[in-house]
Amino acid sequence: MKYIIWLTFTLVSSLTCIAEEVSVKLEVIDPYLEMHTGPAVGFPVIYTVEQGENIELLTRRPDWYEIKSNTGRVGWVKASQIARTLQPTGEPVDLPSVSYGDYLKDSLSAGFNVGEFSSGLLKGAQTFSFTSEQRWLSWFSTEVEMGKLYDSEVRGRYFGANLLFEPYSDWVVSPVLTVGTGEMKITVQPKLIPLSIEDSSYIQYGIGGNLYLGRNFVIRAGYRKYTVSTEQDDERLDKWHIGFNAFF
């Protein structure tokens, strides 16, 4: 009997230790988390967890997690909100049901690109630009870009606004489609034969990819096709680029 009691006590203790080890505790970094009474938006909000508070994950459902606040409240939170939490180590939580896009949703990024025009009147001209991106949805963002172009005989600058579509934002390497419009101004022309591009508007579309380095840093690369309006015929340009963005 003593042996059975000792064995039962040991088993319970072991299970308790295991439960404590697998328990996931996180820190909220968004302004707040809304806790619902059930795993759907239709359930009422019963409690709000403030920024900086700790939570514990209890149960998982598709796109929802049951959590427990440090005040003992229990409720359900969207998986996309759980993406905006930190582990005790200070690293973002990495949950299988949460994509990179979910984590970056509603975030702002800043970065830079370098590239080169590979065809058209500006073939061989190097480019350097600064970008700012707002991620509105896990798969959709808007971007503004300001840059300069230059080679031995040409100098110029451009400003554009782009729409970025990323349908597979849960992939580490994710394809991105881009469409946009902007203005291009050539400030230094070739001495012998000036370019037809001087102060012109353009539209562009392209394809590229994002390589996620953790949850906040992205290496970006792509290829874009430009149609530049001139007084004569529209000019076609191709350009490749590679860059780096940091989200915050």
| Model confidence at 129: pLDDT above 90 | yes
Please give the biggest Cα pair distance in the chain. Answer: 103
Q: Tell me the one-letter amino acid at 97.
A: S
Q: How many CA atoms within 13 Å lie on the side-chain side of 80?
A: 14
Residue whose tokens read 């302004």 = 31
Give residue-wise pLDDT tens across range 52-79.
888 888 877 767 888 888 888 899 988 8
Higher pLDDT, 89 or 158: 158
Kindly list the distances between the CA atom of residue 152 and the CA atoms of 74, 128, 239, in Å, as whole numbers in the listed order. Answer: 66, 15, 18
Confidence of residue 17 (pLDDT cuts 50, 70, 90): very low
Give residue-wise pLDDT tens across range 170-211.
788 999 999 999 999 999 998 888 888 889 999 999 999 999
Average pLDDT, the chain: 83
- Map out the domains of the chain as residue ranges: 23-98, 108-247
Q: Residue 20's pLDDT is what?
A: 38
CATH numeric code, 108-247:
2.40.160.20
Q: Residue 187's pLDDT is what?
A: 92
The per-residue DSSP string of 82-119 comes to HTTEE-TTSPBP--TT--HHHHHTT-EEEEEEEEEEEE
Q: Residue 4's pLDDT is what?
A: 37
Tell me the pTM. Answer: 0.66
**What is d(CA 180, CA 227) in angstroms, rounded to the nearest whole number?**
11
**What is d(CA 94, CA 86) in angstroms, rounded to the nearest whole number?**
9
CB 243 within 8 A of CB 208: no
Domain range 23-98, CATH class: mainly beta
% of the chain surpassing 90 pLDDT: 45
Average of per-residue pLDDT across 153-164: 95
Nearest residue to 136 (alpha-carbon basis) of 159, 109, 176: 109
CB 40 within 8 A of CB 13: no
Structure tokens at 192: 């012998």
Q: Residue 66's pLDDT is what?
A: 87
Average of per-residue pLDDT across 44-51: 89
Contacting residues for 200 by C-beta, under 8 A, at least 6 apart: 183, 184, 185, 228, 229, 230
